Structure formats: structure tokens, C-alpha cells
Amino acid sequence: MSPVLVYESLSLSHADELATLLLNDKVYRHLGGSPPSFERFRVGIERAIAGPPSDRSNEYWINYVVRDAVEERIVGRLEATIHSQVAEVAFLYGPAYWGKGYAMRGLLWLHDELLSLHTKAELWATTVSANNRCQALLRRCGYSLVDIASAPHLLSYDPGDLVFRGPPTS
């Protein structure tokens, strides 16, 4: 059975539940680091809600929490940074929800949401090379691994990351 999901705009009221879900060694092992303190995590949520700094007016940020409608619990987070006709997508889910279709459904929903907001944006994603789960999900959702040299300027790219181009948006 496919999970029934509800998407909510990220707010500060989600910080505690998100921290309980995501400040986990298993999650951060896939991100190439260790969990931040709750205070740093909360600052990250505040920054995401505030959006890009005023000197980056060509960027648009969208951030959602994903909630299981039956359990009424937050299961993950979706985000996208849109700039120069590029939409960089990202997702983060709690380990208890891995492998159950939540992330795939969420990412496909995010594609539809982005298309409704920015019909010409190309979809892109980056991930650390060790994050096999993320790579598999991106491929299942129509992304292809590309060389960084063939990608536009990506704000989420760090040296050594893998770069994925999303499915066509038109």
C-alpha cells in the first residue's frame, strides 16, 4: 500500500519534530558528516524559512515537510532552490521511513509542484558519492548521472559530489 502524504510549508513549529526525526547518525552518514547540534539545526530551519539573502534576488527557495496522513507524523523534508531556470532539489527522510516509497512519492510530488510554479526550470540534484540510497532514488525518478562539466552552475554542488540531471520538464 502506498503511503498517503500531506505536504506543508516548512515553519519553525516543525523544528522539534524534524530534529527528533533527522538529527540521527544514520541520516548524516548518508550526507557525509555528523548531525549538528539542535541549535545549529534550528538556525538552518530559520534560514530556510527566511529564504535567500537580499543580495541573491534571483533565487527562490521552497521548503516543505512531508507528513504521513495516517500516522500524522512528519516523515521527511523536501526543498528546492530555483535560480537561472534551474531547480536544485533535495530531500531528507527519517530512517524509519526509508525503503517504503515516501521519498519517491515526495520527490515526484515536488516535481509537479515545481512545474506548477516554474514551468521552464530544469531539475538537478547533487549528492555525496557514498550516498547510494539517494542515487538509486534519483535514478528511479528519472534522473541521470552527468559530469559536472556539463551542468549549469549548481549552488548545492561541493567538490566530489555526483551531479544528476532530472527528467525533462516540458
Taking each continuous run of H as one helix and of E as one strand, the counts in the chain are: 5, 7
Query: What is d(CA 166, CA 170) in angstroms, rounded to the nearest whole number?
Result: 12
Q: Is 13 helix (H, G, I), strand (E, B) or coil?
A: helix
Query: What is d(CA 8, CA 18) in angstroms, rounded to the nearest whole number?
Result: 13
Strand partners, 78: 64, 91
Please report which confidence band the pLDDT of residue 168 belongs to, taking 50, 70 and 90 as the band edges.
confident
Average pLDDT over residues 13-28: 95
124-155 per-position pLDDT tens digit: 999 999 899 999 999 999 999 999 999 999 99
Q: Is the pLDDT of residue 38 over 60?
A: yes
Query: What is d(CA 61, CA 108) in angstroms, rounded to the nearest whole number?
Result: 18
Show Cβ contacts of residue 144 under 8 Å, excluding neighbours closer than 6 positions: 164, 165
87-132 per-position pLDDT tens digit: 999 999 999 999 999 999 999 999 999 988 866 789 999 999 989 9
Place of cell 532552490: 81
Q: Is the pLDDT of residue 25 over 70?
A: yes
Strand partners, 64: 9, 78
pTM of the model: 0.92
Burial of 78 per CB tally in 10 Å (0-12, 13-18, 19+): buried
- Yes or no: domain 5-119 corresponds to CATH 3.40.710.10: no
Query: What is d(CA 105, CA 5) in angstroms, rounded to the nearest whole number?
Result: 8
3-state secondary structure 64-124: EEEEECCCCEEEEEEEEEEECCEEEEEEEECHHHCCCCHHHHHHHHHHHHHHHHCCCCEEE
